[in-house]
Structure 1
């Protein structure tokens, strides 16, 4: 006999798994056993996911570790105490401003570029949502606003939001108003950029002892006064000798003011232009500059009509393209106008990168390439009668001569009809641009308010405002008052009258059957009321 039987215990036989699962009263869910190849694939996938997560963590850590520290100073309200000391180039921004966000990386690159050349100009930024005192003191009402502070003088920057344009602005704003021109090397450096950035030179005429003549002093005073107004946009230098210039530069009389641009030089003629400031303002633009929304107003300060050549930044130098061919023709016409004694003082050429600005002026569509003449002061424009494919340099000059003679009538203007038309054009154009660039955001911006007001309008016009008399005068509030305004004693007769009034109102909206039921109920109510009176007596 076995030991387990001696103890009185019997080992139960194991049941099959299926039978145990079927006979068990517990609702136990067993996970299915995956085949071995599938399990191996899942194990490899989990392994690769773990490796990917670890690599992502290390990559994020390496990016944060290699992030270049910024040299842009975070300024606060205390900047108002030091803004008049030294040179500052400060951006006033708001964190929610989209233009400020696009400018942020350019601003950091600008700070590093100035730090690399050890510039004395300090670059900073002010969050106007946090430090409102300095923003209100400087009257900041638009974001971003960029201001250059030069020893207490505030110079707003309204140029392009590009690093190269801002570096050029800083170089002009931080330097002397009238810089000395002492060597031929320095003149060669200035001459390299003269085609895009004209510069003005005041040439001294000194006597043997080095003292200045009286005539020279008066001319230089006017020259320096003009330089103080335009030194952030143009360069002004002073030469004490003709040795710094090449032999091709001939100045008949000294002292003199000379402008170098477009590969040549032009001497100021006081007999033809009595106002030196007006002459400098007219000559500070090259032969064919690029017109942008930021500098159109500055170009129009010359007092000339603007000849816009609609072109393209990339295709204007491609002579095999129609845009490049027309740009070459327009440049030749600009040279002819420069040599024309009657047209040079009336027209200033400029080229546009695309027809966007021209479309805004005419409130329509302009082809590319094409040419138009624009008067910024009156907002009138002239369109050429010749197609671009049939135009040449002489036909463009003839077109300008016809405008000067008054043979072509202007279009547009600032009349009320044009202003209303421009208002609708600007609204539709802005909405179209919003839908084209941010369709989802624009749908949310306009769809939510429209849906909200539509629901309100529908609710107002579909609501039923008819009110039943019973809602205004409930049955339990029907009481009679005597002539003296006192409530009478409630007796059976008064109760009968009120009951009769209720029966009359209720019976008016029911059929014959309901009327019979109401009569029966009234009889019962009358009997009850009589019995109540008998008991009272």
Structure 2
């Protein structure tokens, strides 16, 4: 037993630490941490959830009341051992650099000082669900039927392993899975004389895993594909569950309860028929018009209901006719037979396109880029991107040089916010940020991406020379764009459900 003096000293230290971390607002349950107090907080609080933010960040402002509400409920509840804190990165810049904070807000959960990035829902309910799971043991022992019934009702997603032998490889693997995925699911273990098993419980289903019990990757795939309802609503709180299922996602857009009610029975039957192959969801068309537009629905004069299938590669297949149970069934059947053509977002084809820089739109990508007689140097830009604006005069100058010198190359540009690069095209490539510059070789469709920070005329000419092997003559002026970096903002389609 430790001496009483040690206990008193430790208690005094924790009390003073808590006071030193408290917010200026007396009623707040969120601790404010600084460069001086951060390490002490990690020591004092084995379970610490930290928000890294800046006061000017709009997303941070939106998160603040949700985070405060979560802190208040955690402080007064059964899971009060988890402490919520925050760091203002506009003040404590060095601390945020040390923590590799690259965007705001960033949320990290520290377990005994070891951090895990939180990327789940930012509403209070989602935060609490995550934090409560973190506060529990990774694996809860469930000793009898009554305990099991209460346990599976305690969380929307519960995974229970069962075996008579807790010294087995199965138990060891299952316990490791619970440690790894504790932030997503609640795990239990039930001693049982019945055959070894893994069962997934949700509020409406009970699914038994029938694969290899030692293959934890397969168990996780099983969980992801079965934890979603047969036909449920999708929104900010649960879209990540559908994304992680890695299945095609069939959206039904509706604008009224009666519209949904009329199509629910046939959609439930269709979802049951294709369980494990396609996930079916419905979404409020009035609440999420941006998602409808992203999926390719004409929002100039939208007609509801509407139906779209989006595959894991973000290809979109829009039902072109009136949305009924029969047309949906036919559309799904054709999708599974690979008989549908994906939607390609595209600006209108330009009336004239004979300038030194060719304008490429989504519907003409194959004709102007993939099937071009010459190699193509393509810039994918965003109208609002500052680096793209700085590059624009240099890009035009490059196009004029190529034209005037009769150089065998097509210089082109495409607005990446309103045009798709067809994903099945031989010359496709992924745009990770703006501007993206790609050299596409005509004979092989090989794509080389420009990776330099220097986008001067001379640097671009050097890049072309590396690909083509023929020197483009550049005048004495280097035509510098006065640009020294890449744009930090990802492209519009960088995530499947970005609009949600």
| 1:387 aligned partner | 322
Shift of 1:370: 2.0
Contact 1:88/1:123 (8 A) holds in 2: yes
Contact 1:308/1:372 (8 A) holds in 2: yes
1:192-211 matched pairs, under 5 angstroms: 192=153, 197-204=156-163, 206=164, 211=165
Alignment counterpart, residue 231 of structure 1, candidates 178, 182, 187: 182
Structure 1, residues 18-77: CA drift from partner, whole Å, max 9, x if none?
Answer: xxxxxxxxxxxxxxxxxxxxxxxxxxxxxxxxxxxxxxxxxxxxxxxxx86212111101
Moved more, 126-135 or 358-367: 358-367
Shift of 1:411: 2.0
Structure 1, residues 190-245: CA drift from partner, whole Å, max 9, x if none?
Answer: 44466xx23211011x2xxxx557xxx23333333333332211211111148xxx
| 1:490 aligned partner | none
Alignment counterpart, residue 106 of structure 1, candidates 66, 73, 82: 66
1:249-288 matched pairs, under 5 angstroms: 254-261=195-202, 263-270=204-211, 275-288=218-231
Indicate how the Cα distance of structure 1 residues 374 and 231 shifts in structure 2: closer, same or farther if over 3 A, else same: same
Structure 1 residue ranges without an equivalent (≥5): 1-66, 243-252, 427-537
Contact 2:231/2:267 (8 A) holds in 1: no
Indicate how the Cα distance of structure 1 residues 413 and 73 shifts in structure 2: closer, same or farther if over 3 A, else same: same
Contact 2:230/2:271 (8 A) holds in 1: no
Say which structure is richer in strand: 2
Structure 1, residues 237-289: CA drift from partner, whole Å, max 9, x if none?
Answer: 111148xxxxxxxxxx6100011235231211127997333222322333334
Kindly tell me the number of residue pairs found equivalent between the two proteins. Answer: 323
Alignment counterpart, residue 141 of structure 2, candidates 158, 177, 180: 180
Given the two structures, how large is their TM-score scaled by the length of structure 1? 0.54
Indicate how the Cα distance of structure 1 residues 261 and 112 shifts in structure 2: closer, same or farther if over 3 A, else same: closer
| 2:277 aligned partner | 346
Secondary structure at 1:227 match in 2: helix
Distance in 1 (alpha carbons) for counterparts of 2:338 and 2:253: 24
Contact 2:246/2:312 (8 A) holds in 1: no
1:378-527 matched pairs, under 5 angstroms: 379-388=314-323, 391-392=324-325, 395-412=327-344, 417-418=361-362, 420-424=414-418
Distance in 1 (alpha carbons) for counterparts of 2:191 and 2:161: 8
Structure 1, residues 292-334: CA drift from partner, whole Å, max 9, x if none?
Answer: 467545523323101112236xx44xxxx32x324xx246423
Indicate how the Cα distance of structure 1 residues 222 and 130 shifts in structure 2: closer, same or farther if over 3 A, else same: same
Secondary structure at 1:401 match in 2: helix
Indicate how the Cα distance of structure 1 residues 219 and 398 shifts in structure 2: closer, same or farther if over 3 A, else same: farther
Given the two structures, how large is their TM-score scaled by the length of structure 2? 0.58
Alignment counterpart, residue 144 of structure 1, candidates 95, 105, 112: 105
Secondary structure at 1:201 match in 2: strand
Say which structure is richer in helix: 1
Structure 2 residue ranges without an equivalent (≥5): 1-24, 347-359, 363-379, 381-413, 421-500
Contact 2:121/2:236 (8 A) holds in 1: no
| 1:369 aligned partner | 305
Secondary structure at 2:295 match in 1: helix
Distance in 1 (alpha carbons) for counterparts of 2:30 and 2:203: 37
| 2:485 aligned partner | none
| 2:393 aligned partner | none
Structure 1, residues 434-467: CA drift from partner, whole Å, max 9, x if none?
Answer: xxxxxxxxxxxxxxxxxxxxxxxxxxxxxxxxxx
